[in-house]
Structure 1
Amino acid sequence: MAILKRIFGNHKAGTVDPSRIARATTSQTGEDYARPVRAQVYREATITLESGYSRKGIVLDYTDTGLRIRFPTNESLPRYLTVNARSVGISGRAQVVWQKGSEIGLKLV
């Protein structure tokens, strides 16, 4: 039991440190950061690099300002590319904001 108290402390069940709540709730909420509503879809899109290379992927969700696309394979993409997702009404130049595995987040430019 002594080792458990040393690892987990002497806290009673149901007690919460108020300073931890304040820190957790003050980061980008409410008026500070309004996230746009995303439309969940599963539609085909094509991206084209400046070299002319193009590949197809699936749009998972999108907003007026960007979209998230999943590809069948993991490939590193350049910072800027052209996206064509006419099935959701989006086409034009885009910036790669993030890339994790086979998914990328694009911001329309």
Structure 2
Amino acid sequence: MALIDRLFGHKKQETPDLTRVNRPVPEEIDLPRSARAMVYREAFVVYDSGYRRKGVVLDYSPTGVRLRFPTNERLPEEVHLHAGAVGLDGPARVVWQENSEAGLALIVT
């Protein structure tokens, strides 16, 4: 560190300007998600184009489902979910997708 100070000089550290701080960031409220039932049941999603893609339900709740597909194809933003084995059927929004798994939230109509 002494070598750097000799080469470049010693820069006095400035204090931060506290007038720039508007307000602290509010804490995120960690809401518990609904209980999920762990299963391994067949399901499929249908795209708007009519393309049908099979998958497996890994867990589900009354508001959503986690699916695993045999391939890593990307899902469109909205699909129609058919998971009769767990009692879920209807339009769904893709919330997240990672590799061959995806989380879908049911759209209440």
TM-score of the two chains, using structure 1 as the length reference: 0.71
> Is the radius of gyration larger for structure 1 or structure 2?
2
Letter in 2 for 1:90: L
The 1-side partners of 2:35 and 2:105 are apart by 15
Q: Following superposition of structure 1 onto structure 2, how do residues 16-31 of structure 1 map, counting pairs within 5 Å?
A: 28-29=29-30
Alpha-carbon separation, structure 2, partners of 1:83 and 1:64: 13
Supply the distance in 2 between the matched residues of 1:27 and 1:53 (Cα, whole angstroms).
Answer: 39
Question: What is the Cα-based RMSD across aligned positions, in Å?
Answer: 1.1
Superposition TM-score, scaled by structure 2 size: 0.71
Question: How far did residue 71 of structure 1 move?
Answer: 0.2
Q: Which has the higher helix share?
A: 1
Q: Which residue of 1 aligns with 2:106?
A: 108
CA distance in structure 2 between the aligned counterparts of 1:105 and 1:71, rounded to whole angstroms: 11
Give the corresponding residue for 1:9.
none
Residues 47-100 of structure 1, C-alpha deviations (whole Å, 9 max, x = no match): 000000001000000001000000000001110000000000000000000000
Match of 1:8 in 2: none
SS in 2 for 1:51: coil
Name 1:45's counterpart in structure 2. 43
Aligned residue in 2 for 1:91: 89
SS at match of 1:87: helix
Structure 1 unaligned spans of 5+: 1-25
Q: Name the aligned partner's letter for residue 63 of structure 1.
A: S
Where in structure 1 do 4 or more consecutive aligned residues deviate above 4 Å?
none
C-alpha displacement of 1:28: 3.5
How many residue pairs match? The answer is 81
